[in-house]
Amino acid sequence: MEELAGKVALVTGGSRGIGAAIAERLAHDGAAVALTYASSAEKARAVAKQIDADGGRALVMQADNADPGAVTAAVEQTVADLGRIDILVNNAGIFTGGPLEAASVEQADRLWAVNVRAAFVAAQAAARHMGEGGRIITIGSALAERVPVPGLTLYAMAKSALTGLTKGLARDLGPRGITVTVVHGGLIDTDMNPADGPAAGFLRTVPALGRYGRAEDIAAAVAHLARADSRYITGTAVTVDGGFAA
């Protein structure tokens, strides 16, 4: 598949899990892919090595989403080293959970900075370089639509904000032919939420399909949204959650 041949994508948090699957899928579909990591340098290099082995082109950059300057610099380095940017995937994020009474303002601020502010900063920086056909895709969560248990207030708040960000960006960038979407994933088997984790037995009962999804399920949705034939999809959420929010 070469549907993205000639395109350049930047995937934040692309060293593992969903981010790695997205980077590998976009490369498989023909795009040159830049990916960032915060601390997992070895894993990021392994993803790039796999892309290279499959005949693709990869660029690895260290960038902590908590640092707006690092986020902007990653966009600029992508353009400088790969010549352009056509697809931005805001994937990097952190999770904070626990009793409401124990939540701190510091936790809320960091969660907001990494999961929401960084997505805005990256989109703003990337939009300066994108032309018609540009794609901005953010990875959200089905918790923006349904919160089935206590202890998830801060995370649900941050992921819900990505829907508003997406709608606003879509209006700002629509006249330029740039589409903006958010992919709300459900129970995905990753290091953050493994299918054999302590709460997996209960969580498996929440989706209509009764099981966890795979990182490749999210990557497939992102790949579809990145393609030319998704040109009329913007300002909306695409939910890939196995019926989590049904």
Catalytic residues: 155
Q: Tell me which long-range contacts 67-75 makes (C-beta under 8 A, separation of at least 24).
A: 68/117, 68/118, 68/121, 71/12, 71/118, 71/121, 71/122, 71/125, 72/121, 72/122, 72/125, 74/10, 74/12, 74/34, 74/36, 74/122, 75/10, 75/122, 75/125, 75/126, 75/129
